[in-house]
Amino acid sequence: MAEILVNLDKVSVSFAGRVIFSGLSWEIQAGQRVGLVGPNGAGKSTLLKLIAQELSPDEGNTFRLSGLTWGRLAQEPVMPEGETVLSAAMTGVPAIAAIEQTLANLEAQMGDPAVYEQPAVLARVLAAHEKALAHYDLQDGPRYASRVKDVLSRLGFDQSQWATPVK
């Protein structure tokens, strides 16, 4: 039996008195590939927000596997000036960027004489780095950039376009 990643049980969502969907039940299992297709206004984005736990249902129950990571781009993204196609795509999983920043901070501390000249302090920084690195590996961080580039290629973006400003 496949592991259940997401389960929606008879969920209903309404906005401003308009029913977006009602009594919806859906399950996503590990290994499945899912496509979500429908006309504008059908509730696709609302459903994704529900799965991402950015929204709670008016009725029904939702389950999402603990530790499940999730990445998506907003329909109307706001991107900083100078953002490129590649840098924008790399923001799809913010947790990985946060771990990378933590690792960079810890590595900078390791190069600081105030840290490396004090064995107890260095041991604490090394332990924190080891823990962050293990978490990074669990999130598949070392392969994240290559996966993002593969997706961009599959979407039809040639490597020469990756540095193009998204604006």
Pick the CATH number of 4-64 from 1.20.120.1200, 3.40.630.30, 3.30.360.10, 3.40.50.300: 3.40.50.300
For the chain, the structural domain boundaries read 4-64, 85-161
**CA-based Rg of the chain, rounded to a whole angstrom?**
21
Look up residue 129 and give its two tokens.
């780095």
pLDDT in tens, 106-154: 999 999 999 989 999 999 999 999 999 999 999 889 999 999 999 999 9
Look up residue 134 and give its two tokens.
């293990």
Rounded CA gap, 104 and 129, in Å? Answer: 9
How many residues in total does the chain contain? 167
Look up residue 2 and give its two tokens.
């496949």
Q: What is the largest CA-CA distance in the chain?
A: 64
Instruction: Give the DSSP H/E element, type plus range, for residue 62.
Output: strand 59-64
pTM exceeds 0.85? no
